Amino acid sequence: MSSHSIYKEKSLAHSIEHDLQVSVAKCYQCGKCSAGCPVNSEMDYPPSVVIRMLQTEDPILEEKLLRSYSIWMCVTCEMCYGRCPMEIDIPKVMDHLRELSLQEKKVNPKAKHIVQFHKAFLDSVKYTGRLSELGLIADYKMRTFALTQDVALAPKMIARGKLHFIPERIKNKLSMKNIFKKTINKKEKPE
């Protein structure tokens, strides 16, 4: 992902080609990506439509994409990428659109909890080097105030050893912090 994109000066399609080396122009709308997408029915624009909207380079459609729910529903399963005859890396495109949507403060209101989950997930990885399920749940609940949501599941998960009270940590935590630092520096570096 890169925030120093040329999206502001040119189109989203240009920024995607420039930043990700993915050419949406190669799409010929066969629809295989949408047919295979497991969350297609939950999306406002299925993946083939996302690519078509990018191809138009129409600022109104670009705005709709950055405000769409689709970009937050994508679970990066790569089914679309695997099926695409033109090998268009749609998950990478979705990730890029999510990043721009956040930067431009255009996140779809329905995706608010998904964004908080994403942040809680990254925090856990940043501080322990691993995903701490309990830490993730606590962080997510504090961010969303969904304190009682799914709470009845906790005893069953603990009994099955799915929740650990003491988080696992990697030995070299500094290396993980450096990865995050480098990513932030890269994002802040001007073009």
Inter-residue contact 128 to 169 (CB < 8 Å): yes
Inter-residue contact 124 to 131 (CB < 8 Å): yes
User: Interacting stretch for ligand SF4, rule CB under 6 A, among 12-20, 84-92, 119-127, 170-178?
Assistant: 84-92
- Name the residue nearer to ligand SF4 (CB basis): 75 or 151: 75
**Residue 20 tokens, joined:** 């990700």
Q: What angle do CA 132, 136, 141 make, to 5 degrees?
A: 155
> Could you give the CA distance from residue 26 to residue 23 in angstroms, rounded to a whole number?
6
Residues 45-74 that bind ligand SF4 (CB under 6 A): 47-48, 51, 74
Minimum gap (Å) between residue 137 Cβ and ligand SF4: 23
29 forms part of the interface with ligand SF4 (CB under 6 A): yes
User: Interacting stretch for ligand SF4, rule CB under 6 A, among 27-35, 126-134, 154-162, 170-178?
Assistant: 27-35
Minimum gap (Å) between residue 93 Cβ and ligand SF4: 9
> Could you give the CA distance from residue 96 to residue 94 in angstroms, rounded to a whole number?
5
CA distances from 180 to 3, 108, 183 (A): 15, 26, 5
User: Interacting stretch for ligand SF4, rule CB under 6 A, among 44-52, 54-62, 145-153, 172-180?
Assistant: 44-52
Indicate which single residue of 4, 14, 32, 67 sits in contact with ligand SF4 (rule: CB under 6 A).
Answer: 32
**Residue 55 tokens, joined:** 């191809």
Number of residues lying near ligand SF4 (CB under 6 A): 29
